[in-house]
Chain A
Amino acid sequence: MSDSPAIAHGAPTEAGHSHGEHPAYQRHHFETVEQQADATNFAMWLFLLTEIMFFGGLFTAYLILRNWYYPAFVAASHQLNVGWGTANTAVLITSSFTMAMGVWCSEMRNKSGLVLSLVLTFILGLVFLGIKSIEYHEKWEKHHIPGMHYSMQNFTDPQSDPETYNEYHDKPMALDMARHTELYFFLYFAMTGMHAVHMIIGIAILGFMVFRAKAGAYTTGHVTFVENFGLYWHFVDIIWIFLFPLLYLISRHQ
């Protein structure tokens, strides 16, 4: 199911609009433009509630399993590269900033500023996905993708992965705890994967918005679409703000 957020519609071409004094983008069943803007904004927030509860289920599973198998989660989270993680967080926060600037430009009816910030957000989103794919590739090489080919070798014998070993000197882990690292990586891929799916949808809509912005759709005083998409984008950023410490920074000290 395309997880299309509940953005009502672009600037609709209202066929057969009866009385003229309503601006073109007002839908027929709304009394005033403010009522429509309020309604769609409120609808967007309700949709974000469903997203909070959707990710809430994942965070509950993470919370329970982390408490049950803490040593496995610590050792497994050492396999993640904090550098890439921090870079990704910075990229996403900057994209949140450029998105906010986009909303501002749309409110100020500054078309070039809007297009620039939307393109910047678009690029930053792609950079985020790029870094994510690098990390996923690294997991692929180390056989840390949960499933049949998952290997616990880096945990039962940490020397086999010199780069992590030199930094953290993890002790060799007993087999029954090491096998629970697969649970960590499943949660890692489930949460970051679900987050990435939401990023991809966001980037797709961004692409669509850049063209509409070029056509001058969002700088006519009707900012609802850009504002709603901004809410969605900031929400996806908030999810990453929680994912980053929970997955990457479980305990980086020796």
Chain B
Amino acid sequence: MNEISPVLWQFLVKWMTNFALFPPEASKIAPEMDALYFFMVLVSIIGLTIVILLVVSFSILYSKERHPVAVQIEGSTLLEATWTIIPLGLFLIMFVWGALLYFRIYTPPANAMNIYVVGKQWMWKAEHPGGQHEINSLHVPTGQPVQLTMISQDVFHSFSIPAFRVKREVIPGRYTTVWFEATTPGTYHLFCTQYCGTNHSQMIGDVVVLAPDDFKKWLESSTSGDSLAQNGERLFASLSCVACHNARPDSRGPSLANVYGSKLTLSTGQTITADDAYLRESILNPSQHTTQGYAPIMPTYQGQISEEGVIALVEYIKHLDSDYRIQQTTNTTDLLPESEGTAAGRKPAGQQPSPQGKVNP
């Protein structure tokens, strides 16, 4: 067998050239995660070599030929203490270091750019606030923290980017978030790592990291017209939310301007901050989230809006900083019952409505 058959040779070449041993470090957190990982690998190797050295040396020194009569030893509390305290100490170091890392990965910074991700059986849909929609791919800029607000439409999925060392379960019924800051441009793997049915292994994609200006070019080139907030506004009107939330003094629903991030007191007396999850819950389970002073008459929209629709609505409400546009729409569509006097649009003190009233993405 003096020469390797071409078929085998083709495999060997493919394997040798296409051979990875360690994932690339493409996010800010990756080097820190790898530092902890290699610390633990080091501790494990040291521990393992100690055990192997002891076992091998004892086996040689005290084999039956060299040491025919065994000397009975009861034990020594000192030794027991050492191999209880030392492992415990090492493990606690790892615990603290790991917990700090965990909190950093799962607590998004305030200035993070938010991208919504919807997982459904066997595909990922990413929705940028500017209206770009992506299937099984995610374009992110470098140097800018990106927060993913994710939800599933059916079963458990798990959004995993090994190159960024981040992974978050995407569960139905609740937003889960994870954030990262990409550092090196390139294309990296995106996997679904929670078993989700037949094509679990097809639910993969590419995370494309672009330099900031390339990213801006990509945003322009692939916009689908309306920004997410504009979609939300259209949905807001078509679902007749505006009938109650019309910022009129006698409106049945609270004004939603600047509600995102504000402190609300509920009818049950609790005070909460209105974040993405709260907005979503109050759309789907309104009676548990009625603001004080309003009747719990809002119908539930559970099952009537898709997850993308709820995301669009949440995005719209997040960017609603004045009621000007709502008043414009209500004056023209005349949805309101005939109430006394003209629609006295309430101007929030000191803030002129932006003339063109365009809801910026």
| A–B in direct contact per CB < 8 Å | yes
- Interface of A toward B, CB cutoff 8 Å: 71, 173-177, 179
Q: Which residue of chain A lies nearest to B284 when distances are taken between CB atoms in the complex? A: A176
- A176-B286, A177-B285 are known; give 12 further A-B pairs, CB within 8 A: A174-B297, A174-B298, A174-B299, A175-B299, A175-B300, A176-B284, A176-B285, A176-B288, A176-B299, A177-B288, A179-B300, A179-B302
User: What residues on A are CB-neighbors of B300 within 8 Å?
Assistant: 174-176, 179
Expressed in whole angstroms, the Cα–Cα distance for A173 and B296 within the complex equals 9
The smallest C-beta distance from A117 to any residue of chain B, in angstroms, reads 51
Q: Which residue of chain B lies nearest to A171 when distances are taken between CB atoms in the complex? A: B296
Report how many residues on chain B are interfacial, defined by Cβ distance under 8 Å.
11
Expressed in whole angstroms, the Cα–Cα distance for A218 and B302 within the complex equals 61
Expressed in whole angstroms, the Cα–Cα distance for A177 and B289 within the complex equals 11
The smallest C-beta distance from A170 to any residue of chain B, in angstroms, reads 14
Q: Confirm or deny: B287 has a beta carbon within 8 angstroms of a beta carbon on chain A.
A: yes
User: What residues on B are CB-neighbors of A177 within 8 Å?
Assistant: 285, 287-288
Say whether chain B's binding surface is mostly helix, strand, loop, or mixed.
loop
The smallest C-beta distance from B77 to any residue of chain A, in angstroms, reads 33
Expressed in whole angstroms, the Cα–Cα distance for A175 and B284 within the complex equals 11
Q: List 7 A-B contacts (CB under 8 A).
A: A71-B287, A175-B287, A176-B284, A176-B288, A176-B299, A177-B285, A179-B300
Expressed in whole angstroms, the Cα–Cα distance for A175 and B296 within the complex equals 10
User: What residues on B are CB-neighbors of A174 within 8 Å?
Assistant: 286-287, 296-300
The smallest C-beta distance from A152 to any residue of chain B, in angstroms, reads 12
User: What residues on B are CB-neighbors of A175 within 8 Å?
Assistant: 287, 299-300
The smallest C-beta distance from B338 to any residue of chain A, in angstroms, reads 27
Expressed in whole angstroms, the Cα–Cα distance for A176 and B286 within the complex equals 7
Expressed in whole angstroms, the Cα–Cα distance for A176 and B300 within the complex equals 6
User: What residues on A are CB-neighbors of B288 within 8 Å?
Assistant: 176-177
Expressed in whole angstroms, the Cα–Cα distance for A176 and B296 within the complex equals 11
Let me know if A176 and B302 touch, CB within 8 A. Answer: yes
Q: Which residue of chain A lies nearest to B299 when distances are taken between CB atoms in the complex? A: A175
Expressed in whole angstroms, the Cα–Cα distance for A174 and B284 within the complex equals 12
Q: Which residue of chain A lies nearest to B281 when distances are taken between CB atoms in the complex? A: A176
The smallest C-beta distance from B171 to any residue of chain A, in angstroms, reads 16
Partner of A173, one of B284, B287, B298: B287
Top-6 shortest CB links A-B: A174-B287, A176-B300, A177-B287, A176-B285, A174-B296, A175-B300
Expressed in whole angstroms, the Cα–Cα distance for A175 and B298 within the complex equals 9
Expressed in whole angstroms, the Cα–Cα distance for A23 and B288 within the complex equals 67
The smallest C-beta distance from A10 to any residue of chain B, in angstroms, reads 49
Expressed in whole angstroms, the Cα–Cα distance for A71 and B285 within the complex equals 13
User: What residues on A are CB-neighbors of B284 within 8 Å?
Assistant: 176
User: What residues on A are CB-neighbors of B297 within 8 Å?
Assistant: 174
The smallest C-beta distance from B304 to any residue of chain A, in angstroms, reads 11
Over the window 23-43 of chain B, the binary record of Cβ atoms lying under 8 Å from chain A Cβ atoms (1 yes, 0 no) is 000000000000000000000
Residue of A173, A174, A176, A179 with highest tally of chain B CB at under 10 A: A176
User: What residues on B are CB-neighbors of A179 within 8 Å?
Assistant: 300, 302
User: What residues on B are CB-neighbors of A71 within 8 Å?
Assistant: 287
The smallest C-beta distance from A93 to any residue of chain B, in angstroms, reads 37
The smallest C-beta distance from A157 to any residue of chain B, in angstroms, reads 14
